[in-house]
Structures are given as C-alpha cells and as structure tokens.
Amino acid sequence: MRTFIAALSFVASALAYTVSQPSASQGWTTVGPNTVVWSRVNTDALNFTILLVNQDTSILPSKSEVLSAFVDGSAGQLTVSPPSGGFPIGTGFQVNLVQDPQHLTTIYAQSSQFEIKASPANASSSVPLVTQSTVST
C-alpha cells in the first residue's frame, strides 16, 4: 500500500507547473526583455506569483524579489519587468512560481539555475554596416 501511495504522489508531482525558461542555457540580461515560460495541467492552481531568488545575499540582499503577482497560469508565458533598482548581475538565480505574495514559501515550480548578464551598452542602437560596391562594365 505504501508503494502505491508513493507512486501516486510521484505521478501527481510530475503533472504540475514546470518552468522551461529561464534555464541554465538561456538566462536573462539586465535590460531584457526577460521572459518566464511555463506549462501547466488543469489541476494546477489558476494563478501564482513569480519570485526571483538567489541564495547569495551579496547579489540579491533580500534573497528574493517578487516580479509579478497573481499571474494567470493559463497564459503560458510572461515578460517580466525589472525589479526596482534593475536586475542584478550574477549566477545562481532561480525563478520560483509561488502561491501568492503572502505565501512565498509555497512553491509550485522552480526554474533551473541561470545567470543574469549585463546587457551590451549599445545593443539596441547598433546598426549593421552596409557597404555598396560598384561594378563597371
């Protein structure tokens, strides 16, 4: 009987919110846009709060920052705005999908650890160099 209950709880946990982005291979930048992508099943909670966490208090002094509260879980993705003071630079960040701002320790899903990198200063204003060649006949 215990084996059946353990197997059932494993199956139930496998059918819950999962975060696919950000990931170890696709982190964020300090400017963005930074997107959280998740999947869900219809038995998951209807909404959640997105929490940015890092256990290194020199990077994120409060250890966590609410990025968006009461997110519609059926949307599947959300572009998040930077917290006050902007996104910090560093490694070891995770995005947690939690119950709500009053229950930050009730975690529905976590991303893998990822890095937030500084954005290139002129990335949005760079223009590719176009040269014109003339051919004489």
Decide: 38 and 97 in contact? Cβ < 8 Å: yes
Instruction: Extract the tokens encoding 114.
Output: 């990822």
First to last CA, the chain: 88
Q: What is the pTM of this model?
A: 0.75
Q: Structurally, what CATH architecture does the domain formed by 17-117 represent? A: Sandwich (2.60)
| Residue boundaries of the structural domains of the chain | 17-117
Residue 70 CB contacts under 8 Å (≥ 6 apart), including other chains: 47, 48, 49, 100
pLDDT per residue, tens digit, the chain (137 aa), is 554 444 444 444 455 999 999 999 999 999 878 999 999 999 999 999 999 999 887 877 778 999 999 999 999 999 999 888 889 999 999 999 999 999 999 999 999 999 999 987 634 443 333 333 334 44
Dump pLDDT digits (tens) for 76-103: 999 999 888 889 999 999 999 999 999 9
